[in-house]
Chain A
């Protein structure tokens, strides 16, 4: 049996809006995943360091400060530098579609906006992680 999916729910940037992050953390936990919550006001460095230390499959970024176009690409670059490109980066917040597709180009997965359900997010994470694990096994 494969190990449980490990997720880092990460608040990055200066905003303190943690309602979404906490709901998602509880939802993923209740769906059987192992969830690590980063706490508030993290830098991209701190998030990547936590991802390395906790050996996670997924980083779920929550950001509502409007700094997503600065901070998320920084995380992507650092993951690459740490040879962690197999980690799924997903997340949510107030992120305009235009920005989401831009972020997708640098390797970010699906970003969920207001109105997304927990089941939708759980389903997406399970499918993505399975696919990524298969790929890693093959190579």
Chain B
């Protein structure tokens, strides 16, 4: 009894000592100076102009007139591990569970441009995603899944152009016209330099690969989203919400500028750009971030880049709940964290959502954990009444104040980057990289000093460890996959392969040639992903990160 009282007392003292609860979020710029907001905080808000109606400029309230009443968000769970065959089975399982889109995680060798049988792939084949480096792998991965009937998201960047060609090659074999393919390829190289650090080539040739893809898709794959401009990884690397918002949008503006410079009309490619944000635990701030993102994008595309199509103005986005908010301690708590984050994403008007599994601070998710994560979304959709209202938080003084604040702070960062000569120069200097590293170090210090409480980690800890079953990748995956790749390479016409690679190398030297048709032709002639990357390295060189100041 005595102990219980002591515990209660302690909790009470703590909440008293933290009058400004937001000081516990040391990274957010939006720490308000007070706890209640009134119309006085919104004197410069013009609802008609700054919010608009759903489906109308500047889309602060949402990009569709009917939002979730018309179409609920897509429940898109990211998955991929082991061999193409294993992932194909997981896809079929998820489709049967009611998932409405595929989302593929590739293994590190595929992301970094090495075939499974390359020495640098040792120990990494099929570990963090599925191993795919040949047309044969791609055919197995989508076996029995008609590509005109699913929308597919592929998380791949440095080697994106090759993976999209493999996907197109599978479609051609299935008899599906390329124009019918629906989906998204991440293809956001700028955030690789900024945050996820899975880069191969220097920024400028990387941007050429991206504009080549945008041009090809404009003509042949009109339903394909060519870049998923990603804040997710920026946030996971430790940025604040505002940094995530500003760097991501700045990356988006950079792609738009390169597309225009490459001779395209902004309205021919901007509608195929989509976004990918993180949803973290600071609930209101996340909702405001999503709303601000839509408004900033719409205004810039319309007024700065002269886009005339409403489709260019609308910022469509996917959301993933914050992997970095999950804890290895008391892993069941992660269910609650993910629910809060998913709720923020839905209230923020996301178009699709991945909810993390409770075991992701420990390993790749088990089937059990993935199912619970999907059920979280289904409960939000079916049981919470959320889908019947559009932007239900809009109009709240605090939400509108935060949305304005997010936009103001993001504008400051845009200016900072512009004075450095744009995003590519800023990256070459290491500017966003250093800012993020600093923010993540500050955050860790706050956790260590208990200025920021993480339940189960630095407060409310438990001695007993809950053992939950985790997914282990079968040790045979790597040797089996290497064997398959070697066989594939032995069976093909190696002279033909050499000539296709020569074509690619020569075209790489000439910026006026689009590389995508040549790469598609090469993968259909059984050239592998690693071979194409090696060949491109001969012309483009490789990238080393500038040193970071902390």
- What are the residues of chain B within 8 A of A23 when measuring CB–CB? 238, 437, 440-441, 444
Bound together, the chains give a CA A68 to CA B472 distance in angstroms of: 13
Against B, the Cβ 8 Å flags (1 = close, 0 = not) of A100-119 are 00000000000001110111
Q: B335 CB to closest chain A CB, in angstroms?
A: 17
User: A17 on the interface (CB 8 Å rule)?
Assistant: yes
- What are the residues of chain A within 8 A of B108 when measuring CB–CB? 13-15, 65-67
- In the complex the two chains form, is B440's CB within 8 Å of A118's CB? no
Partner of B112, one of A22, A41, A96: A41
- What are the residues of chain A within 8 A of B445 when measuring CB–CB? 118
Against B, the Cβ 8 Å flags (1 = close, 0 = not) of A70-110 are 11000000000000000000000010100000000000000
Partner of B236, one of A19, A40, A68: A19
- In the complex the two chains form, is B544's CB within 8 Å of A114's CB? no
Partner of A39, one of B128, B447, B545: B545
Q: A58 CB to closest chain B CB, in angstroms?
A: 19
Count of chain A residues with a beta carbon within 8 Å of a chain B beta carbon: 32
- In the complex the two chains form, is B550's CB within 8 Å of A15's CB? no
| Number of A-B contacts defined by CB within 8 Å | 102
- What are the residues of chain B within 8 A of A119 when measuring CB–CB? 448
- In the complex the two chains form, is A15's CB within 8 Å of B128's CB? yes
Which 5 interchain pairs have the tightest Cβ spacing?
Answer: A70-B123, A16-B197, A66-B127, A67-B123, A14-B108
User: B140 on the interface (CB 8 Å rule)?
Assistant: no
- Known contacts A18-B237, A94-B362, A115-B327; 10 further A-B pairs (Cβ under 8 A): A15-B198, A23-B441, A25-B550, A27-B444, A66-B364, A66-B473, A69-B123, A96-B363, A113-B361, A117-B447
User: B548 on the interface (CB 8 Å rule)?
Assistant: yes
Bound together, the chains give a CA A76 to CA B237 distance in angstroms of: 29
Count of chain B residues with a beta carbon within 8 Å of a chain A beta carbon: 46
Q: Which of A19, A40, A113 has the most CB of B within 10 A?
A: A19
- In the complex the two chains form, is A40's CB within 8 Å of B444's CB? no
Which residues of chain A have a CB within 8 Å of any CB of chain B?
13-19, 22-23, 25-27, 29, 39-41, 43, 65-71, 94, 96, 113-115, 117-119
Q: B462 CB to closest chain A CB, in angstroms?
A: 12
Chain A to chain B contacts (Cβ below 8 Å), 15 pairs? A14-B108, A14-B111, A14-B114, A15-B198, A26-B441, A40-B545, A65-B123, A66-B123, A67-B124, A96-B363, A96-B472, A114-B328, A115-B329, A117-B448, A117-B458
Q: A63 CB to closest chain B CB, in angstroms?
A: 10
- In the complex the two chains form, is A67's CB within 8 Å of B122's CB? yes
Bound together, the chains give a CA A69 to CA B475 distance in angstroms of: 11
Partner of A114, one of B127, B327, B545: B327
Q: B440 CB to closest chain A CB, in angstroms?
A: 5
User: B109 on the interface (CB 8 Å rule)?
Assistant: yes
If the complex has contacts A22-B440, A96-B470, are A39 and B544 also in contact, measured as CB distance less than 8 A?
yes
Those of B445-477 within 8 Å (CB) of chain A: 445, 447-448, 454, 457-458, 470, 472-473
- What are the residues of chain B within 8 A of A19 when measuring CB–CB? 236-238, 324, 437, 440
Bound together, the chains give a CA A14 to CA B533 distance in angstroms of: 15
If the complex has contacts A13-B108, A66-B124, A114-B361, are A22 and B473 also in contact, measured as CB distance less than 8 A?
no
User: B136 on the interface (CB 8 Å rule)?
Assistant: no
- What are the residues of chain A within 8 A of B238 when measuring CB–CB? 19, 23
- What are the residues of chain A within 8 A of B545 when measuring CB–CB? 39-40
Bound together, the chains give a CA A68 to CA B473 distance in angstroms of: 13
- What are the residues of chain A within 8 A of B444 when measuring CB–CB? 23, 27, 118
Q: A51 CB to closest chain B CB, in angstroms?
A: 19
